[in-house]
Amino acid sequence: VVEHAIRENLRPSMNCSRWGKYPIYQYSINGKFIKTWISQREVERVLGFKQASISRAIKSMRPYKGFYWKKEY
Residue 29 has phi, psi (to 5 degrees) of -60, -30
- Residues 51-61: tens digit of each pLDDT: 999 999 999 99
Q: Does the pLDDT at position 12 exceed 90?
A: no
Residue 58 has phi, psi (to 5 degrees) of -65, -50
β-bridge partners, 63 = none
Q: Against a cut of 0.85, is the pTM above it? A: no
Closest by CA position to 73, among listed 16, 27, 31, 26: 16
Give the model's pLDDT for residue 72: 79
Give the model's pLDDT for residue 19: 53
